[in-house]
Amino acid sequence: MEADCVERQCDMEFLSELQDKVAEADCVLSMACGAGIQYIAERYPDKPVYPAVDTTFIGVNKEEVGHYEERCRACGNCVLGETGGICPVTMCAKGLFNGPCGGTSGESCEVNPDQPCAWRQIYERLAAQDRLDSILKISEPQEWTGTVPRTTVQPGYEKEGQGG
Ligand code: SF4
Ligand code: SF4
């Protein structure tokens, strides 16, 4: 088995570097996340492409080696600047943008007693930074359209007639 490494598997420009090697291979085993695996399968549609990893979430290495915890769902409405850097979408069982919900039990979440209440943590983080005014701001309802796949264009790359 031959192995290779590209700088980014989510960019066609870099995938082209694999042209000769993929042509000689029976199949491709990709260690990228699910996005990279799909893109290499799209770039080389005549080759079977297999995932070497099981993409689960955007997370962090938690406490022990090999233990990971989700931290972001890529919601597109990031409020971390207002919540002391704690994500209410992934860390609050109800995904509340305005919290707490009223069911907080001590330091714990009412949905899962083993999980700290995210909004209590947000309160404590903001209090420590003397920024409690942030928690009083009401977040407007989010546009959860459910439309997939989502796309985005960075403002500097918009062509005339595109964008907002
Ligand atoms: S609010 Fe949470 S889920 Fe949304 S982008 Fe920010 S960190 Fe990710
Ligand atoms: S107790 Fe806290 S973490 Fe649990 S659902 Fe309510 S606000 Fe969210």
Query: Which residues constitute the domain of residue 17?
Result: 12-51
Task: Dump pLDDT digits (tens) for 57-113.
Answer: 999 988 888 888 999 999 888 999 999 999 999 999 999 999 999 999 989 999 999
Same domain, 78 and 132: yes
Same domain, 41 and 83: no
Ligand 1 pocket, Cβ-based, cut-off 6 angstroms: 72-75, 77-80, 87, 89-90
pLDDT at 118: 97
Ligand 2 contact, 109 CB (< 6 A): yes
What is the pTM for the complete model shown?
0.84
Task: Dump pLDDT digits (tens) for 12-31.
Answer: 999 999 999 999 999 999 99
Same domain, 94 and 41: no
Q: What is the CA radius of gyration of the chain?
A: 21
Give the count of domains, the chain: 2
Kindly give the distance from the C-alpha atom of residue 150 to the centroid of ligand 1, in angstroms, as a whole number: 15
For residue 29, is it within any domain? yes
For residue 128, is it within any domain? yes
Q: Is residue 116 scored above 70 in pLDDT? A: yes
For 39-70, the three-class secondary structure string (H helix, E strand, C coil) is HHHHHCCCCCEEECCCCCCEEEECCCCCCEEE
- Residue of the nearest CA to atom 1 in ligand 1? 78
For residue 141, is it within any domain? no
For residue 27, is it within any domain? yes
For residue 61, is it within any domain? no
